[in-house]
Structure 1
Amino acid sequence: MPKESAPPSDRDRDRDRDGERVGRFVEQFASQLVEAGMPRMPARIFAALLAADSGALTSAQLGEQLQVSPAAVSGAVRYLTQQHMVSREREPGSRRDIFRVHSNQWYEALANRDGILKRWESALSDGVASLGADTPAGRRLAETLAFFEFVEHELAQMLERWRVHRESLFGKQAPRRE
């Protein structure tokens, strides 16, 4: 009786892919992220993680795939974890870290901008008070402050609408491992 083979794991599928096509996607998408303001190496790492079926790769795998040094990978994943775009996990039974991109990475990245907006609003508010609300510079700062307050309010509502919409498309999201 023939032995049934187990379904291929995500890592097996990643290895079986056309490396040239994956590499082209990674570099093309990374270029788009760079044009939008992301540093080049984090953009390449992020694109590589997105392109992996598993959504997760070790530092060594990233370095090998992108032909970059461990230091380059380390700096890039530090940036991406600070931006809440990837998470660092421990590979079960190993001391190696795995870097994972989650299906909700854009939501997480935007949701974590709230703290930045609040700091900008505080600085702008101080600036209006320091320069005087009735001066041209003070009015410019007040308008900028009003814009960021508007964006913060709209962002919160938009993210909630996205959560509901995403659930209607893809089902309820599993809790995220940290």
Structure 2
Amino acid sequence: MPGGHLTYDDRRRISEGLAEGLTYAEIARRLGRPRSTVGREIARNGGPHGYHAGRAQQATGWRARRRPAAPAAAGDAGRRDPQAVREFEERLTAAFGGVPTMAARVMACLFTSDTGNLTVAELTERLRVSPASISKGVGWLEQVGLVRRERDNRRERYIIDAEVWYRAWLVGTRSMMLWTETVREGVDILGAGTPAGVRLATASRFFELISTDMAQAAEHYRQTFATTGDIPR
């Protein structure tokens, strides 16, 4: 029903509408839903070229199960299992595919700190590496805009904030755009009419579509959350 949660049938009709090449507004009219509802649903579940009703339904159920019932009490931090935290940080580090190992370890530490910021000394103690290694990891993260630094008296703090996912997504978008441009060069070199040239042209088009979808999803995220004040503008 309009205004309620999307059902599997709604998601199946969204998938069918995308396959037919309908606009978000046309799909929304068919469902009797706001266009913004349809746009958010598609953006968070693979974009217009990757949306599948079954996967979207499963992802929605997973998010519902993961959503906390109430804010955690401040005292909960003291009851954490240090070993479980370390193991989670290791899994999180491995999940940052494409990020240099030390940069990924620093990022995992910042994500799992309640303050969202740490000094070089604190990172050195937690990761048991040299300050030079920390600086190298932080340098990479700063270069791609995933962390920023602020001076706290004599110390510098490295900070990860609410906008980090938006910036991380843009890093991936730029990588896809680079793939598009690089592969496209190969078409001219190998010849557009050759089997290799056709193969590269198809790959170039694929990466172009993916990068476009990623850019649109990032902008949708920014517009949605910036209005609530969650993301700095």
TM bin, normalised by shorter chain, reads: 0.7 to 0.9
Q: What is the CA distance between 1:59 and its match in structure 2?
A: 0.7
Change (3 A) 1:29 1:117: closer
Corresponding residue number in structure 1 for 2:184: 125
Taking structure 1 as the reference length, the TM-score comes to 0.75
**Distance in 2, Cα, partners of 1:174 & 1:117:** 24
Taking structure 2 as the reference length, the TM-score comes to 0.59
Which has the larger displacement, 103-112 or 135-144? 103-112
Letter of the structure 1 residue corresponding to residue 206 of structure 2: F
Q: What is the CA distance between 1:165 and its match in structure 2?
A: 4.2
Does 2:232 correspond to 1:175? yes
When the two chains are superposed, the root-mean-square deviation of aligned CA atoms in Å is 2.7
Which of 61, 75, 81 is equivalent to 2:142? 81
Q: What is the CA distance between 1:142 and its match in structure 2?
A: 0.4
Corresponding residue number in structure 1 for 2:203: 144
Which of 88, 113, 117 is equivalent to 1:25? 88
Q: What is the CA distance between 1:101 and its match in structure 2?
A: 0.9
The number of aligned residues is 158
Q: Deviations over 1:39-88 (max 9, x none)?
A: 33222211110111111101111001121111211111112222322122
Letter of the structure 1 residue corresponding to residue 229 of structure 2: K
Corresponding residue number in structure 1 for 2:165: 106
SS in 2 for 1:112: helix
Letter of the structure 1 residue corresponding to residue 150 of structure 2: E
Q: Deviations over 1:88-135 (max 9, x none)?
A: 2222x32x2211111221210112344433333332222111211111
Q: What is the CA distance between 1:149 and its match in structure 2?
A: 1.1
Does 2:106 correspond to 1:45? yes
Change (3 A) 1:62 1:109: same
Letter of the structure 2 residue corresponding to residue 52 of structure 1: S
Structure 2: 5+ residue runs without aligned partners? Answer: 1-74
Change (3 A) 1:17 1:28: farther
Which has the larger displacement, 129-138 or 78-87? 78-87
Q: What is the CA distance between 1:163 and its match in structure 2?
A: 2.5
Q: Is the 8 A contact 2:222 2:231 kept in 1?
A: no
**Distance in 2, Cα, partners of 1:122 & 1:28:** 33
Q: Percent identity of the aligned residues?
A: 36
Stretches (4+) displaced over 6 A = none
**Distance in 2, Cα, partners of 1:150 & 1:166:** 24
SS in 2 for 1:97: strand
**Distance in 2, Cα, partners of 1:84 & 1:134:** 41
Q: Is the 8 A contact 2:93 2:104 kept in 1?
A: yes
